[in-house]
Amino acid sequence: MNISIIGTGYVGLVTGTCFAELGNHIICADNDKSKIDMLNKGGVPIYEPGLESLIKKNVAGGRLEFISDISNAVKASDVIFICVGTPSTDDGSADLSAIEHVSREIAKHINSYKLIVEKSTVPVETGEWVKKTINEFKKSSAEFDVASNPEFWREGSAIDDFMKPDRVVIGVDNKKSEEILKELYGPLDTKIVVTNIKGAEIIKHASNSFLATKISFINALSNICDKTGADINAVAEGIGLDSRINTHFLKAGVGFGGSCFPKDIKAFIYIAEKLGYPFGLLKEVDKINELQKKNVVKKLKDLIWNLKGKVIGVWGIAFKPDTDDIRSAPAIDIIKMLLEEGVKIKAFDPVAMDRAKSELGDKITYCKDIYEAAASSDCVIVMTEWNEFKEIDWKKVKESMHQPVIFDGRNIYNPAKLKELGFKYCGIGRR
Ligand code: UGA
């Protein structure tokens, strides 16, 4: 199929590249010319394992191209995926102005039948607005349909998640759209859930909200474990081995972050409220997540007393391992809270250092590895569970620290082992 992808951010690049890999002809369009120039020179503006080589392969195979002229992308395609950003605004609602802008551009240039697919995460009823906007601004008599096809990939494993999904969700309002999307996903061995457009829009927000609810549930429980001396990892295992609950997304930590959960929960709360249902459960999920970050500062005071003037080594800044993404990363919020307390921060992350520098500037010290970050510190806090943080030379760490204190914000270490080595240890819901 001839497919256009509007927006070459994370969602657009993965969508375009993977559909090219499935044998389609893809045009990725973005009005940010510098991004398109970079892509045309072989660069990739985001870090995602495997993406760069897959882009190269498909560009070389003539199945993938990048252009900055959206009108040509619209004209040359049968299916158009809208993959532009839908960031949070101050009241938590999603800013849909980029979706509106693209809808108008499509309306201006539509020259034959198109299936227009929302891929960006959008609140329920956005599809109707897209339809209305195109109808209002359309000059030609060409027909079109709108569909919703949310993505469920995780950063760091997006390509695998695309190629081997648990399910594909398509929201359509007629057979023709359903058949086009089914054909497109035909090569993937997976279940296709077909519903109407609003259903698909809700499935996306509901999936992320449910996963975030699991995390906040286990994080809330971690506080009960802290107070009683139970071990949250054992509690999570005991709960999760019930197959109705399952063990996924039951890892207690310093809170969830990233570009999706925090934003999508707020947007879902907002749209529910607007529809007349105050979604109290999700408000609590969000609140627990904020509290979990504040608790780190409180626990540090219990561990090393006054924070002012103390040096804290931070291991990990990215919101999770295998990504350089620091959007809504708990580490960033926690570092900012600690700076306000007068703490000196020495930080290291295997891939997110450049992004951290652009966010935090010269407010903290950037280190070349975990050992440098630990040296002369009064405490090391683990914010991201990078694999390379798991096997380390503890003797070297201990000797270089001012006080041997480890705050394990991702529960990756064995408390008994660290205590045996002479460290004071504090985890999340385990001591
Ligand atoms: C999330 C969803 O998992 C994807 O299905 C979805 O497609 C994506 O959002 C999106 O909407 O685009 P992602 O943001 O890449 O994916 O990250 P996750 O792996 O889900 O992790 C989110 C946050 O939850 C991270 O900060 C992680 O550390 C935290 N987390 C996750 C926990 O604290 N505990 C867990 O058990 C699992």
Q: pLDDT per residue over 87-145, tens digit each? A: 999 999 999 999 999 999 999 999 999 999 999 999 999 999 999 999 999 989 999 99
Phi-psi region of 33 (alpha: psi -120 to 50; beta: other; left: phi over 0): alpha
Residue whose Cα lies nearest atom 3 of ligand 1: it is: 154
Residue whose Cα lies nearest atom 24 of ligand 1: it is: 256
CA of 74 to the centre of ligand 1 (A): 32
pLDDT tier, 46 (very low <50, low <70, confident <90, very high otherwise): confident
Q: Is 29 exposed, middle or buried (0-12, 13-18, 19+ CB in 10 A)?
A: buried
Average pLDDT, the chain: 97
Q: Express each pLDDT in 188-223 by its tens digit.
A: 999 999 999 999 999 999 999 999 999 999 999 999
Q: Which fold has domain 208-427?
A: Rossmann fold (3.40.50)
Ligand 1 shell residues, CB under 6 Å: 121, 151-155, 208, 211, 215, 249-251, 253, 256-258, 260-261, 319-320
| Distance from C-alpha of 291 to C-alpha of 293, rounded to nearest angstrom | 5
pLDDT at 194: 98
Instruction: Provide CATH 3.40.50.720 ranges for the chain.
Output: 2-195, 208-427
Q: Which fold has domain 2-195?
A: Rossmann fold (3.40.50)
Q: Express each pLDDT in 270-295 by its tens digit.
A: 999 999 999 999 999 999 999 999 99
CA of 257 to the centre of ligand 1 (A): 7
Q: Express each pLDDT in 355-410 by its tens digit.
A: 999 999 999 999 999 999 999 999 999 999 999 999 999 999 999 999 999 999 99
Q: What is the mean pLDDT of residues 28-42?
A: 96
pLDDT at 229: 95
Radius of gyration of the chain (CA): 24
Residue whose Cα lies nearest atom 33 of ligand 1: it is: 256
In the set 260, 367, 379, 426, the catalytic residue is: 260
Active site residue 260: yes
Residue whose Cα lies nearest atom 36 of ligand 1: it is: 249
Does residue 157 contact residue 51 with C-beta atoms inside 8 Å? no
Q: Please report the atom of ligand 1 found closest to the CA of residue 207.
A: 5
Q: Express each pLDDT in 231-269 by its tens digit.
A: 999 999 999 999 999 999 999 999 999 999 999 999 999
| Distance from C-alpha of 348 to C-alpha of 365, rounded to nearest angstrom | 9
User: What does DSSP say about strands 114-118 and 25-29: parallel, antiparallel, or unpaired?
Assistant: unpaired
Short-list 213, 212, 238, CA closest to 225: 238
Residue whose Cα lies nearest atom 11 of ligand 1: it is: 260
CA of 107 to the centre of ligand 1 (A): 35
CA of 385 to the centre of ligand 1 (A): 13
pLDDT tier, 47 (very low <50, low <70, confident <90, very high otherwise): confident
Q: What is the mean pLDDT of residues 52-64?
A: 97
CA of 307 to the centre of ligand 1 (A): 31
Q: What is the mean pLDDT of residues 163-187?
A: 98
